[in-house]
Chain A
Amino acid sequence: MTQAAWTKPAPRTPIATKVIARPQRTPHVQSYVPEWLKGTALTMKHFFTNTKERMLGQKRDPVLENFDGGITTIEYPEERRPYPDRYRGLHRLTTRDDGSPRCVACLCCSTACPAQCIHIEPAEYPDGDERRGYERYPSVFVIDELRCVFCGFCVEACPCDAIRMDTGMHPAAYDSRDQFIYDQPILLSMVGRDGGRKTENPRHEPGDPTHPGVTREHESH
């Protein structure tokens, strides 16, 4: 009788196994006391090593020095671990030289947002402003940080480098939900990791001779 086709064929070679030796029931092991003392010595070693680190302020820095065991806890309010450069923290709106937002209210970010947490109301510059007809500005720019999923799509979508998530801050716990609704002044007040409110990318104002795109006579508007 041959083996049924649906059964798994027997392996040709035995599977290589690692045999773990069973503890031998020697008097040394069975008397329990030496093994117990050995175990206690091991736990004591760990205890004293870590206790020593906490004495005399020798606790290892969990970020810089923790490479061979020891306490890895960051005791949060007193100890803080800075976030890496590419950490997506709270949003900020970058500014131009005159302090106005770089945002041109194109609605790319609110469109890209999967959580629909960005609300923008675009507005035209008043008559006589050199930017009128050239671009718009946000009269209302609100982010609900509780709805935000911190995906970073808004930053990717922004053509003007106007919204960034490089503040390096996490949303702190407040005592009410409306404190998580960040409006334009709050977003403009946030600074980046370098402490500034601008970005390194150049911004072309109307009439800028280095502007690579179409130039328009703004007087005609």
Chain B
Amino acid sequence: MSGASLVLSLVKALVVVLFLLNMSAISVWLDRRQSAMLQHRVGPNRAVVYLPAAAVRALLLLPAVLVAGALAVPMWRVVPGFELPRITQGIEAAILFAWFGLMLLAAHVRRNGADNAFEETVGSADPRSYFYGGLVAHLLAAGAIQLLPTSLTTTGDVSWSTGIAGSLAAAVVLGSGFYAGTKVPDGNVGIRLAGTLHALADAIKLIWKEDLRPRRADKLLYALAPLLAIFPALVTFAVIPMGSALCFQDVDRDRMLSFGDLTHLANVLDRSGACPPGHVSLSLAVADLNVGLLYIFAIAGTGIIGAAIAGWASDNKWALLGGLRATSQMVSYEVAMGLSITGMLMIVGAVHMQEIVEWQGRNAWGIFVQPVAFFLFLTALVAETKRVPFDQPEGESEIIAGYFLEYSGMKFGLFFLGEYAEFVFSSALLVTLFFGGYHLPFVDPDGIRIAFGSSTLYELKLTHLAVSLLHIGAFFGKTILMTWLQVFIRWTLPRFRYDQLMRLGWMKLLPIALVNVLVTGLVILAVEAGGPGVASILGTAGQVTQALVALLGVVGTVALVTWMLEPSKPQQFAVSTTARYTLEAGGVKPTKMGA
């Protein structure tokens, strides 16, 4: 292993740990916030940090400068013969930032009132029109650029038009950042970040809280248990690929990744996605193990130890009961979990996570291939992470808080963090196994291609960097979306009884998983016997599922945004003196009110 690979491994591990810890802290907040939204409450949003106005302006401008730099600099770099997609990327980015910025400004005007004529114009329009206008502009730009002659976009070695497109996008971003900066009032400004600072406040509180220990607790094990609980949650993520492998040009021809190679990212890949000769690849999993899934099962199994030891070491009968419950539950559901995924492994023929994702990219997402296994696996995963409706190990109403009942301060915080890190990891695992990992429909390693069978409907070449960024964004986006969806399970389902839980695991999930394995094996044999005709039908069916995902994604997003932006005109009633005074003050949130 070269020094560069070692450093990059550490960087990847740091990214994973930071992502898990931050996401678990934010998920704790999200969990509360979401429950509040379900119950017509506001939820935690009061944590606030006061910063001087200059610092706030700098914070607003910094991301804009970074994005602008990232957009403009690569655009000006000359890449012979590859200008067209770069123009498209630049102009599409400019359009995206323009309509999104206008929409945010419209939202700001609606909330706080207009300051000048420009804001009044922006705020007076229907917020949906920005969204529709943006969509139309995206499509028009994509169409118009295809019509441009190549001679216009390239003048010798200098591709001025790509640079201008990139600079346009950068200018829009910078302009938005500057305008947002001017909106910051003078003096100290309270920053709330939509309430997410509550996660930070909770952590600070937990760290400074008194660390109590029961008098007769086992000192060593009591201190060790929280670490044992959080460790597996963090290390299981190591084998999950966060994006497709990056290809670097092997400048010094030592067939290893060295620091000199890192600046020479391959420009384009061919359709297979394999690194061209003379290149070295960098996997975006922390540890690219070929036993991927087995490693996950092995390490996830050790998560039981933390809960069991915590229950034993606390010297409390409720904690011991909780530890016992956790142990038996996790052991039971590990069986169903392993068997439910077996069908998927039989089809793919590998346990290497990257290969599982690539198979899904070539054929169809796991949820279409193994729908029954998905529900079995989801159930087992929820039970495995001890979340509602399988949270009997905690069972507030029966055994108070279960195995971490005696813990306080940051030791309790570590249990909580570990639980939510496991939760975020379970979302990443679900995404990798059943939702195509980092794969997006119709995004090939060399660009976007909408094709059915042998006929190609639309094609747009993209650089290796753009595709890689799409993949990384897709993986983290899907994981966050999955985390958010999984929180709904908690707020929808009531807790099972313990015997129901055991019966479900051993007498329902296990037999169904076995039947699933049997049926999958029969289907695999039938397809093999069917020959190339059946295989081509299955290939087309796979493309149809990809199209279905893309269509559902686009239609769902458009419908959701349209509905969310629809202005509501609630009817006003003023029948009480309170309401009369409220009307006179312009609502319960007057523009300016004394202390």
Contacts and interface: CB of A to CB of B under 8 A. Distances in A.
Interface of A: 33, 36, 39-40, 42-44, 46-48, 50-53, 55-58, 60-65, 67, 69-75, 78-86, 168, 193
Interface of B: 34, 37-42, 45, 106-107, 110-112, 127, 375, 488-489, 491-493, 560, 563-568, 570-574, 576-579, 581-583, 585, 587-590, 593
Contact of B578 (A70, A72, A84): A84
A64 B573 contact: yes
B570 A65 contact: yes
B564 A48 contact: yes
Nearest to A52: B564
A69 B40 contact: yes
B571 A57 contact: no
Interface of A is mostly: loop
Contact of A64 (B38, B111, B587): B587
A63 B45 CA distance: 21
B40 A43 contact: no
A42 B38 CA distance: 9
B589 A58 contact: no
Given A51-B564, A83-B578, A84-B577, A36 B588 contact: no
Contacts of B572: 61, 64-65
Contact of B37 (A40, A51, A58, A62): A51
Given A43-B492, A55-B564, A56-B565, A50 B40 contact: yes
A58 B567 contact: yes
Given A52-B563, A52-B564, A65-B570, A85 B492 contact: no
Contacts of B587: 61, 63-64
Nearest to A30: B508
Nearest to A85: B577
A74 B571 CA distance: 18
A67 B573 CA distance: 9
Contacts of B107: 55-57
Contact of B488 (A43, A57, A71, A74): A43
A50 B43 CA distance: 12
Given A36-B489, A63-B579, A84-B578, 9 more contacts: A39-B493, A56-B106, A56-B567, A57-B110, A61-B588, A63-B587, A71-B42, A80-B590, A82-B582
B488 A44 contact: yes
Given A51-B564, A56-B127, A40 B489 contact: yes
A65 B571 contact: yes
Nearest to A53: B568
Nearest 4 pairs of A and B residues by beta carbon: A82-B581, A57-B111, A85-B577, A65-B570
Contacts of A58: 110, 567-568
A128 B529 CA distance: 123
A46 B578 contact: no
Given A40-B492, A51-B564, A75 B42 contact: yes
A115 to B, nearest CB: 27
A47 B493 contact: no
B574 A70 contact: no
A89 to B, nearest CB: 13
Given A51-B564, A64-B579, A67-B571, A56 B37 contact: no
Nearest to B578: A84
A85 B593 CA distance: 20
Nearest to B110: A57
B588 A74 contact: yes
Contacts of B573: 64-65, 67
Contacts of B566: 52
A46 B489 contact: no
